[in-house]
Structure 1
Amino acid sequence: MGRSRGLQIGLDSQCLSYLLDAISGVDEPTDILADEKKALLRTWFYRSNHFAFTLTATVLEEVRAIRDSVRREFHESFSRTLMLDHPVKDQYAVQKRADELAEFHPRGRDCRILAEAEELGLDFVLTYDHDFWKRLKDKSPITKLIKPTVYWSNCGIVAGSPPKTVPHKTNPLSNQEWWRW
């Protein structure tokens, strides 16, 4: 009997960076994106046991372009061990699709992230980049751009449920409650 595929979820670069910062123990977010950031972190800690986020080739390129070497290595190390990534199989088709998406959104890297996600067959890409989401949310028949709060609310996790994983006791986040549901 075959296993079911399960949802395939990607992250854009902003979500990846915030997730890593949060897991490493940053304080509770209080900015305009606080709800999105909390939902993203909860998605990580309350995810099913066989779940991993997928990073597209463009997101990984953006990681390699981080100027601060310590921050770049932190991103690379985490991505290598706890995220999935797959190379682009058909560069021409992905670029063609990114060019089509550019008709609706001026940021080429965002268009390429969505085109790569389509090629990978991702069900969702989580983003809290409002322009990326607003302009391209309805442009893909394969991959849905979705904000972390919407994804989290659709997970149906009952408030008070225990997380599937928790930060190590030496992680400052382990002593905080704001991320718990």
Structure 2
Amino acid sequence: VCRRIDEGPAGTSILDRIYEGANVYYNYTGEAKCFELDDDPHGLDGWNWQACTEMVMPMSCSKESSMFPPYEYNYSSFEEDCFKNFGVKPRPKWITTEFGGRNIHIALKNFGSNIIFSNGLLDPWSGGSVLQNISESIVSLVTEEGAHHIDLRASTENDPDWLVEQRAIEIKLIQGWISDYHQSYKAVFDM
């Protein structure tokens, strides 16, 4: 986003630069002629639901540390919004209670399988992710160039080689897991 804003041609107005930055988010395919800010194609209502019911993540920012307007997190306000929008009360400790948030590596090793953690180090969320393989079926794919869920977006002819390769690895892993499942399922009926 910042690159699109900062690297506009000389003489580009501030408004045009901001538009270019917003295009990264609202028009990442480059096909939209215009976009509605209230019509979110990325499913953020689903994210808000998840934030209210499973993953309460207090966030705030200041003008010294962010390009965004200052914001102080207020749990009571968050709780009211969740109830107003979804009719639910947040469960701030649910994720750690359900999945054992003290040591995610041990919890995953003991109870998880067939998980790909795809991490682009340009994504600020990557610092809270799993950055090393935990087992043969709990795999971390890390790339310096990647951003938030870029590998889940539709492929285009402009995709860089590293992204094409990462998607191929993900497909191969998932196909292997499906094949293993079918082999074990078949073995039960061959008896």
Would you call these one fold, judging by a TM-score over 0.5? no
Q: Which has the larger radius of gyration?
A: 2
The higher-RCO structure (CA 8 Å, 6+ apart) is 1
TM-score, reference length from structure 2: 0.28
